[in-house]
Structure formats: structure tokens, C-alpha cells
Amino acid sequence: MATLIRFTHQMGATMAVIKSDDRNSWEIDYAQRVNPELMTRLLHQAVPVLKWTNWRITRVGPGMCESTLPLAVETTNQHGTHQAALISLSADYTGGMALTTLLTGTPLTGIHRGSPDESASLWLVGMDVKYENPSTSHLRGVSRVDPKTAQRIRTRYFAGQVVLATISVEFWSESGERVAVAVMRYFAQATKRLLEHRVGGDLSPMTKLNLKTSARIIAGLRSMTDHSTSTTITTSDGKRLRLDQSHDKVAAGTHGLLQAQRLQKVLPQLAAMVGARTRHCDQFLKSIGGIEQLVLLGAGLDMRPLRCVDQLLGSTVFELDLPVMLAERQHVIDLLEAECGGALRAPERYQIAVDFLQDDVGQRLRDHFAFSDTAVTLVIYEGCSMYFDEDQNRRLLTSIRQRLKHPASRLWMDCVTPAVISEGTSDPNIHEFVNQMELIGEKFVYGPADPEAFLRSCGFVCASNVSAQEFLGSIDPTLGEYRFVVGGRDVVELGER
């Protein structure tokens, strides 16, 4: 899946980059994006601890934010004064909001609706808090960015440059006594620029985190229960879906399981989609038999070679992804190996580092010593097509098609329909799904109106085309906009298979 970035304790939010001009006046920005009532409500939804403490924003202005941390049982220690750590938390979001007001017209992914392609990232990189007096009343936090610093932040940000901003937050009691002062250091940059940024030829740390997080969440969605050998998912319309996936908890880790649980509450269809595509693809793999090679395009943390080991023993598996994901994948498999005492059953595996947007993936396969064009090959393109545009998808799949010389070779892929790209539907369920996906930073880019015609344009002939709704026997219309497609070489060969 694409990057998932949202507010955390480090204020890890993404924001859309726009041109700063007269069309985005403070009055409009205040009304639509940063007014206290709206931001308090949205932050409470995104960061439950803020709602639990009843922390709230009380006033904002250009380069300014005031907040309140109530003195309550939930926020105090054994002395009846505020917990120091909660004052630090309040400082994080108060200073972060003051910085946010300077990025005129910029929605926060995970907070407001907005395209990740037009976003920027903001997070806390350091803090120094000095506690001067016990906090024995409701605590008012005040952050003001001086005009010179505010102009520098705006200029650098809207020029696409990195922003490193030091912002102070003061805390005052109801009697006017200063309780604490915090010096907060934030990083901000256009997300598009951040994702392109490479350190010594490698991806930036934030990009690596985003990639790993998305993969862990998908693994977590496959592993929503405590069963050690199976997963049972409840779809949005109450149907129970059981999956034989014993490896995904290890792949998800604590982080992935937590994020999956959070997503399940707001996007129940997403778990159903992941569960359906996993089961459909596994069933197809097991049904065709005689596979000599399995190619995983965007392997991520998919443990299919281990989950379907009985069908793949004697086959060769090629796992293609970015280097950072292949390293994380191998780390997970090493953990599973250790759990099995070195007796993990697995087919022969090879990892191939690729960038789908830059490399000729078919050429990379052909150049690998273990790959054979003439072997019976199953290519699985799972959870990727909706995040690349039409030309990028076509270029990738056409390159792959050129490497499939055996008539029994197949492509399995999932895709969405245009209805969840442009919201070309009157169904409120689909509108809500699209809205929630955009809120978590997962905006889909492409979905073919005619999957069969799209496959033909890549050199494949469509052998089957079924929706998740049909596959699950579900009544949820959103699942009807998610499809599983199988392609092969030509009509005659598919008919004979």
C-alpha cells in the first residue's frame, strides 16, 4: 500500500503543498482548516490521548496557538498536579499547531482530506522543557512565532525547501504564574520532496518508515485475532472470513497490529478487502498446479511463500521490492526461522531490488541467473496497481509480459474501479470509504474502467474478473469496486488450460 503518515506523539502529520497567494486568505484558512473547534475535534479523533485528557485548542492566529490542558483526575499525579509528560505532550501539539497556521491552505493527511501527492511532512525532532512551578490549575499553553521566523518558515516551505523551526511554548496557571516553558524543534518539508530525497543514494529515514509501516499494517489486517494458525475477519456487513495465515502476526509486529486495529474501527471494508484478496490469490495459486516460478511484484511482508509452501516446494520464488523492504522482509523471515528452531519450511527464494518507477522490471528478472522465461510462472501483483497511474502500470506489466514465454504462465492482480478514484457514484457507503481512505493518506490514483481492455493493452488476455463483493457473497457495495483479475497469454491457451 502507499504511505500512511498521521499525527503521532511526534506530530508526524503530512500536509498538502499549495502556492501561497491571495486566494488563500487567513479568513478562509481559519474557517476551513485551522479554527479551534474543528482542529480540536479532528485531533481528538486522530490522537485518542488528547481526547482522554480533554486537551483542546482555544485560540489560533497566524503563527500562534493557545491550548488548554485541564487539571483532572486523568491528567494529574499523586500530588494532584499535572503530569510532566502531559505538559510535554501539550507543548508538542500547541507548537505544532502554531507552525501549521503558517502553511496557508495546507490540509493535514490523517486530519483533513487531501491528496498525499500534494502533501508535506511535519514532525517534532527535539524538545527541551523546563518545569518552573507545580501546575495546580487548568493549564494554558501559548505559542507565538515571531514575524521574522514566520516569514522564513513560509518562504522556505513554499519554495519546497526543508524547514527546521525552533518554536517556544509557555504554560501559565489560572493565577498568571508561569508553570513551564518548552523549546520545540520541528522539521517540515513537502512530502513529495521528502519521498524523493535520498541520503547517500538511499531513501530518507522517513520514507523507510512509511514503507515499513504500510507493509506492517497490511500484515496486521491479515492477522486480526489471536489464533495461531488462522485469522478470522468480520466484514463490514457481518460476514466471517477465515484465513490460513499463521505468519502475519510476526510480520506485523506490535506497530502493525496496533495500526490495523485502529484502521479496522474506521475502515472495516479495508480488512475485508485485504482478507478477500489474500484468500482469492491463495486459492488461485493452489488451483493451477505445476508452478515452477512465483514472482511477487511488491513483495512487502507478504508471507505467501511460507503460507503456501506445500504448493511451492520445488518452485523458485522471486521477491521484488525496494531494498529497504527486502531487508525488512528478510528480517521477519529470520525471526520466523528462529521461532522454528531453524526448521522453517520454505521454497527456494531470491530477492531482487527494484524501483517500479525507474527500473525495467522485466529486464531485471531476465538478467537474474535463476529466472527462466520458458518456465511456468505465476506473477502476483497485489496491492500496488491502485497507487500507480495508468502509464506506470502499463509499462510495468508490459515488461513483465515479455518475460512470460510459457503458455501456462499467469498474472494475478487486484485493482479498484474508477468509482473510488473520482467518487463517480451516488452510493454514500462508497463516498464514506473514499473519504476515510483520504483521511489516512491512502488516496487511490488509478482504477481501470475496463480491466479486460487494460490487460489487453499490456499483452495479456483476461481469464477471470471477479469483485470482492462477488467473491465474499457480501452485500457491501464498496467491495464491488474492488476486483481480482487473472491474465494469460492468449484466448486459445486460456481456453485449453
The 3-class SS string of 347-414 reads CEEEEEECCCCCCCHHHHHHHCCCCCCCCCEEEEECCCHHHCCHHHHHHHHHHHHCCCCCCCCEEEEE
Do residues 319 and 456 both lie within one domain? Answer: yes
Whether the CB-CB separation of 63 and 100 falls below 8 Å is answered with: no
Backbone angles phi, psi at 259, to 5 degrees: -65, -35
Q: Calculate what percentage of the chain has a pLDDT beyond 70.
A: 81
Do residues 59 and 172 both lie within one domain? Answer: yes
| Strands 178-190, 163-172: pairing kind | antiparallel
Q: What is the pLDDT of residue 255?
A: 78
Please give the distance of CA 298 from its chain centroid, rounded to a whole number.
14
- 98 vs 106: which has the higher pLDDT: 98
Number of Cβ within 10 Å of residue 27's Cβ equals 8
Domain C-terminal end among 196, 217, 235: 196
Q: For residue 298, give the amino acid letter.
A: G
Does residue 223 register a pLDDT over 70? yes
Does residue 200 register a pLDDT over 60? no
Do residues 469 and 373 both lie within one domain? Answer: yes
| Strands 108-109, 348-353: pairing kind | unpaired
Domain C-terminal end among 179, 196, 213: 196
Instruction: Decide if 168 is inside a domain.
Output: yes
Output the CA–CA distances (angstroms, integers) from residue 128 to 87, 124, 125, 186, in the order listed.
Answer: 12, 11, 11, 12
SS3 per-residue string spanning 288-334: HCCCCEEEEECCCCCCHHHHCHHHHCCCEEEEEECHHHHHHHHHHHH
Q: What is the pLDDT of residue 360?
A: 96
Q: What is the average pLDDT across 219-245? A: 53
For the record, the C-alpha cell of 393 comes out as: 502500470
Do residues 491 and 349 both lie within one domain? Answer: yes
- Helix, strand, coil percent content, the chain, rounded in steps of 5: 40, 25, 35
From CA 404, how far away is CA 488, in angstroms rounded? Answer: 9
Helix, strand or coil, per DSSP, at residue 68: strand
What residues are paired with 352 via a beta bridge? Answer: 320
Output the CA–CA distances (angstroms, integers) from residue 352 to 349, 359, 366, in the order listed.
Answer: 10, 11, 11
Which range has the worst mean pLDDT, 58-67, 239-248, 475-484? 239-248
Which range has the worst mean pLDDT, 10-14, 17-21, 412-416, 453-457? 10-14
Q: What is the pLDDT of residue 267?
A: 79
Average pLDDT, the chain: 83
Q: What is the pLDDT of residue 226?
A: 39
For the record, the C-alpha cell of 189 comes out as: 518539508
Whether the CB-CB separation of 30 and 88 falls below 8 Å is answered with: no
Confidence of residue 315 (pLDDT cuts 50, 70, 90): very high
Cα-based angle 480, 482, 486 (whole degrees, multiple of 5): 115
From CA 465, how far away is CA 267, in angstroms rounded? Answer: 24
Q: What is the average pLDDT across 292-321? A: 93
- 30 vs 421: which has the higher pLDDT: 30
Count of CA atoms in the C-beta half-sphere (13 A) of 491: 2
The predicted-structure confidence for 444-461, as pLDDT tens digits, reads as follows 889 999 999 999 999 999
What residues are paired with 183 via a beta bridge? Answer: 128, 168
From CA 497, how far away is CA 483, in angstroms rounded? Answer: 22
The domain that contains 482 carries what CATH number?
3.40.50.150
From CA 284, how far away is CA 305, in angstroms rounded? Answer: 14
Q: What is the pLDDT of residue 24?
A: 58
Q: What is the pLDDT of residue 426?
A: 63
Confidence of residue 203 (pLDDT cuts 50, 70, 90): low
Q: What is the average pLDDT across 311-335? A: 92
Output the CA–CA distances (angstroms, integers) from residue 57 to 26, 170, 240, 491, in the order listed.
Answer: 17, 14, 41, 62
Do residues 28 and 129 both lie within one domain? Answer: yes
Domain that holds residue 483: 267-496
Q: For residue 452, give the amino acid letter.
A: E
Does residue 227 register a pLDDT over 50? no
Do residues 182 and 284 both lie within one domain? Answer: no
Q: For residue 250, give the amino acid letter.
A: V
Q: What is the pLDDT of residue 266?
A: 74
Output the CA–CA distances (angstroms, integers) from residue 148 to 104, 126, 170, 382, 484, in the order listed.
Answer: 17, 21, 19, 49, 55
Instruction: Decide if 303 is inside a domain.
Output: yes
Q: What is the average pLDDT across 42-60? A: 94
Q: What is the pLDDT of residue 209?
A: 67
Which range has the worst mean pLDDT, 35-44, 114-123, 415-424? 114-123
Count of CA atoms in the C-beta half-sphere (13 A) of 45: 15
Instruction: Decide if 301 is inside a domain.
Output: yes
Domain C-terminal end among 153, 178, 196: 196
Q: What is the average pLDDT across 147-164? A: 92
Instruction: Decide if 104 is inside a domain.
Output: yes
DSSP letter, residue 25: -
Please compute Rg for the chain using Cα positions.
25
Closest CA to 112 of 219, 492, 120, 195: 120
Does residue 56 register a pLDDT over 90? yes
Do residues 328 and 192 both lie within one domain? Answer: no
**Based on the structure, what is the number of domains in the chain?**
2
Each residue of 85-95: b (16+ CB within 10 Å) or e? ebbbbbbbbbb
Q: What is the pLDDT of residue 3?
A: 30
Do residues 192 and 271 both lie within one domain? Answer: no
Q: What is the average pLDDT across 7-17? A: 34
Which range has the worst mean pLDDT, 189-203, 314-328, 349-363, 413-427? 189-203
Q: What is the pLDDT of residue 205?
A: 64
Do residues 280 and 146 both lie within one domain? Answer: no
Do residues 167 and 291 both lie within one domain? Answer: no
For the record, the C-alpha cell of 154 comes out as: 513560509
Q: What is the pLDDT of residue 106?
A: 81
From CA 214, how far away is CA 208, in angstroms rounded? Answer: 10
Instruction: Decide if 245 is inside a domain.
Output: no
Q: What is the pLDDT of residue 423?
A: 57
Instruction: Decide if 259 is inside a domain.
Output: no
Whether the CB-CB separation of 40 and 46 falls below 8 Å is answered with: no
Do residues 188 and 272 both lie within one domain? Answer: no
Instruction: Decide if 218 is inside a domain.
Output: no
Instruction: Decide if 239 is inside a domain.
Output: no
The domain that contains 185 carries what CATH number?
3.10.129.10
Q: What is the average pLDDT across 476-490? A: 90
Q: What is the pLDDT of residue 251?
A: 81
From CA 294, how far away is CA 409, in angstroms rounded? Answer: 10
